[in-house]
Structure formats: structure tokens, C-alpha cells
Amino acid sequence: MPNLTLVISEELQQKMRKHSDIRWSEVARQAIAKRLADLEIMNKIAEKSKLTEKDINELDHLIKKEALRELKQNEHRSRR
């Protein structure tokens, strides 16, 4: 079985040591498997999509524009 080496921060390592009963390599394996399963689902959806790259860029712009508007609105409300 191939090995994978991860670089983690000292802070993360210290927190992990507090939970030495957990098999962290298994946690990492499960997280990788979950992400790959999610990517496979997204790829299947994308294969069936009829959106063009232009459509996607327009949607991306609209979503970001709305998110920025909501963020500014929330910031304004929190200042009151």
C-alpha cells in the first residue's frame, strides 16, 4: 500500500497529541475518500450540464456580486 506524508503545523500536532486514541491516518484516509467521492459526483453532474463556460462565468459573477452585497449589508447592520 502506498504511503502519503502530510506536513502539519506544530499547533495542529499538539492538538492531535491530546487525542492519541484516535487513528489520525484513518481520519485522513476517510477525508480523502469522501472528497474523491464528492468530486466524482460533481464530475457526473458536470458531464450532463449544458452550461457553457460563459454561462458559468456569468453565474459566478452574479453569485459573488450577491454575496458581496449581503456581506456589506450585514456589516452595516452590525455597526448600528
Q: What is the pTM of this model?
A: 0.61
Mean pLDDT of the chain: 94
How far is 67 from 63, CA to CA, in rounded Å?
Answer: 6
6, 28 contact by CB (below 8 A)? yes
Cα–Cα distance between 68 and 73 in angstroms, integer? Answer: 8
Using CA atoms, how far residue 16 sits from 7, 9, 33, in Å, is: 13, 11, 21
What are the residue boundaries of the structural domains of the chain, listed by start? 8-49, 51-80
Q: HSE of 79 in the Cβ direction (CA atoms, 13 Å)?
A: 6
Q: How far apart are CA 18 and CA 24, in angstroms?
A: 12
pLDDT digit string, tens, across residues 21-40:
999 999 999 999 999 999 99
Kindly report, residue by residue over 69-80, the tens digit of the pLDDT. 999 999 888 887
